[in-house]
Amino acid sequence: MSTAPPSDGPVTVAVDALTVKHRRTTALDAIDLELGTGVHGLLGPNGAGKTSLIRVLATVAAPASGSVRLLGHGVAGGASDHAARTAVRRRLGYLPQEFGYYPRFTVREFVTYVAWLKEMPGDATPEAVERAVERVGLTDRIDAKIRTLSGGMVRRVGIAQALVNDPDVLLLDEPTTGIDPEQRVRFRSLLRQLGTTSTVIVATHLVEDVAAACTSVTLMDEGHVVHQDTPAALAALAEDARGDTGETEDIGDTAIERGYLAALRRHRTASAGTATTGVAAGKAGA
């Protein structure tokens, strides 16, 4: 796997030999990851394991094995980690892939409710709610009931509730799904701003969001971390691959899309080679 230092400064998210299973499916297969302040894009095909990873980091799912440290606290699962999970949750923001809300609540009521769940001080909450809603461009709808909003606006309410406590670790699972181009551009700028002080992890299929807003990119495939780099280095990878192997296939419309596809292809070719060598070695030894 190609690796690059994902960020300067202290490690805030550390995952060691993390395995996550859903019944018989291994969603994450003993992955290691270390991230710090910055905006970290998680890319990978459907089923790669991005949501499984984010759910464990959000402490809403327990791993089968391995360790997870968030902000210096072990939170992976055992009863001994219970107090740490509670403490860390106050410093987390989480937007799930499918985000549950109360349609009869107004935007203000819902974000206030989340602030209460995170045990924010009551006197600081009204201002924090207004600021989070302003950051996602919904100030003019703050007293509208959520059920009267469009799908993209509801997604932005989801981002606002994740931001309300100014989290040290912010986990966003496909945050820009359904969001219009103007708001996406605004959101990328918000991400860049948040990433100067927090650890932001964004799972997405929109590689252009990664190119525009992320300081690092982690590429996953079939439960493994297969590549870690800066977006610029990932974008240069397709050119490098062409230079190395003489490949002429030119798929992807942007440099980072071509880099993403080249990194996946490179990993899959290497895995197939290892499997073939393994079979050959097995036969030789038989």
Ligand X SMILES: Nc1ncnc2c1ncn2[C@@H]1O[C@H](COP(=O)(O)OP(=O)(O)OP(=O)(O)O)[C@@H](O)[C@H]1O
Residues binding ligand X (CB under 6 A):
22-23, 25, 27, 44, 46-52
Nearer to ligand X among residue 26 and residue 193 (C-beta): 26
- CA-to-CA distance for 70 and 87, rounded, in angstroms? 10
Contacts (Cβ under 8 Å, ≥6 apart) of 176: 155, 184, 187, 204, 206, 209
From the CB of 58, what's the least distance to ligand X, in Å? Answer: 13
From the CB of 55, what's the least distance to ligand X, in Å? Answer: 8
- List the beta bridge partners of residue 169: 92, 199
Nearer to ligand X among residue 22 and residue 104 (C-beta): 22
From the CB of 26, what's the least distance to ligand X, in Å? Answer: 8
Nearer to ligand X among residue 50 and residue 118 (C-beta): 50
From the CB of 223, what's the least distance to ligand X, in Å? Answer: 7
Nearer to ligand X among residue 168 and residue 221 (C-beta): 221
From the CB of 47, what's the least distance to ligand X, in Å? Answer: 4
From the CB of 171, what's the least distance to ligand X, in Å? Answer: 12
Nearer to ligand X among residue 206 and residue 211 (C-beta): 206
From the CB of 50, what's the least distance to ligand X, in Å? Answer: 4
15: nearest Cα among 88, 70, 79: 70
Nearer to ligand X among residue 12 and residue 52 (C-beta): 52
- CA-to-CA distance for 208 and 196, rounded, in angstroms? 20
3-state secondary structure of 80: helix
What DSSP letter does each residue of 149-196 carry, written as one string?
S-HHHHHHHHHHHHHTT--SEEEEESTTTT--HHHHHHHHHHHHHHTT
- CA-to-CA distance for 240 and 10, rounded, in angstroms? 31
CB atoms within 10 A of CB 141: 19
Q: Report the run of H or E that residue 274 belongs to, with start and end.
A: helix 255-285
Nearer to ligand X among residue 93 and residue 223 (C-beta): 223
Contacts (Cβ under 8 Å, ≥6 apart) of 279: none
